[in-house]
């Protein structure tokens, strides 16, 4: 209030308010948040680019088949990234309101509903994979490879959805670096697995295009396990495994939480699809 001398106050809220009022400090905060997000998105795309490069050695049909499947998966990935915006925004609101229990509740709900919603979609995707592969008008051998890649990748969509949502939750809690670091690790794992499984090195079976899809699925599954483990330990104030203070946060699915996440996430996902 006017007339109140707060120059000696240790209140962290006042310190934070001063820092946000400084344009230079605000620019630094924006850059610290945005650069890791940019890096994470770039790394997510580079994972499939690496697979395309490795598959290219198998010939034109394999390259066409994998390339067509990866185009579909890039659309799916973009939509899921947009959908994760809903969870990210809601967690950010809870963190900004200094309500860690609500942030944890929303994080748990986001993960559960990602699994609940996208598991039946994954089953449908596997069933529809041959039909989706046929829309590109490729030769039969390339179409078969597209269908094989899509069967594995669409079957892993629940993992991909939970991975995107976990990254969004941590970003909403103010931690944009951890998802980027985990994605770096996923890229390294994918590069090694794809090299081994596509060409059958080190005694592994030679799976060709299907090996590239399996490598992506395994690397993203491991990334999800790491993020969930970190959140279970209370990363960025989000706790998945224990009560927040004296408040016990339930894992029971709540439609109101799903509705709130979808209300914000679906328009963003639609924008990415377009």
Widest Cα–Cα separation across the chain: 79
Return the DSSP state at 238.
-
Q: Mean pLDDT throughout 168-195?
A: 89
* Tens of pLDDT, residues 41-74: 788 777 888 888 888 888 888 889 888 998 888 8
Residue 98 has pLDDT above 70, yes or no: yes
Residue 223 has pLDDT above 90, yes or no: yes
Q: Estimate to the nearest angstrom the gap between the alpha carbon of 211 and the chain centroid.
A: 22
Give 263's contacts (C-beta < 8 A, 6+ positions apart): 86
Q: How far is CA 234 from CA 25, 32, 159, 183, 210, in A?
A: 27, 21, 21, 19, 37
**What does the alpha-carbon distance between residue 148 and residue 66 come to, in Å, rounded to a whole number?**
9
Residue 63: which of 72, 52, 47 has the closest Cα? 52
**What does the alpha-carbon distance between residue 94 and residue 198 come to, in Å, rounded to a whole number?**
45
Residue 34, strand partner residues = none
Mean pLDDT of the residues in the chain: 82
* Tens of pLDDT, residues 124-152: 988 988 888 888 888 888 899 999 999 99
Return the DSSP state at 250.
P
In the block, residue with structure tokens 């993960």:
111
> 2 vs 269, which has greater pLDDT?
269
Residue 55: which of 209, 164, 238, 246 has the closest Cα? 209
Q: What is the pLDDT of residue 16?
A: 61
Phi, psi (rounded to 5 degrees) for 182 = -65, -40
**Torsion, CA 107, CA 112, CA 115, CA 120, rounded to 10:** -140
pTM of full prediction above 0.85:
no
Residue 270 has pLDDT above 80, yes or no: yes
Binning pLDDT at 50, 70 and 90, where does residue 218 land?
Answer: very high
């Amino acid at each position: 209030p006017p007339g109140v001398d707060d120059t000696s106050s240790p209140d962290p809220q006042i310190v934070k308010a001063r820092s946000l009022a400084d344009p230079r400090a605000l620019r630094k905060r924006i850059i610290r948040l945005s650069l890791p997000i940019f890096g994470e998105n770039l790394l997510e795309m580079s994972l499939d680019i690496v697979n395309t490069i490795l598959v290219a050695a198998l010939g034109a049909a394999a390259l066409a088949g994998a390339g067509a499947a990866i185009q579909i998966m890039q659309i799916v990935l973009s939509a899921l990234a947009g959908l994760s915006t809903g969870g990210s925004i809601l967690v950010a609101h809870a963190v900004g309101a200094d309500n860690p229990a609500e942030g944890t509740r929303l994080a748990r709900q986001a993960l559960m509903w990602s699994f609940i919603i996208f598991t039946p979609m994954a089953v449908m995707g596997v069933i529809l994979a041959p039909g989706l592969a046929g829309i590109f008008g490729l030769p039969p051998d390339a179409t078969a490879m597209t269908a094989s890649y899509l069967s594995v990748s669409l079957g892993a969509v629940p993992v991909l959805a939970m991975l995107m949502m976990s990254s969004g939750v941590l970003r909403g809690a103010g931690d944009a670096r951890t998802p980027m670091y985990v994605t770096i690790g996923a890229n390294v794992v994918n590069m090694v697995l794809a090299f081994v499984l596509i060409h059958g090195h080190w005694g592994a079976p030679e799976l060709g295009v299907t090996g590239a899809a399996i490598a992506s699925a395994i690397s993203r599954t491991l990334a999800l396990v790491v993020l969930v483990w970190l959140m279970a330990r209370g990363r960025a104030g989000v706790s998945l495994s224990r009560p927040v203070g004296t408040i016990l946060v339930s894992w029971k699915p709540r439609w109101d939480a799903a509705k709130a996440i979808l209300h914000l996430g679906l328009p963003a996902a639609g924008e990415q699809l377009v």
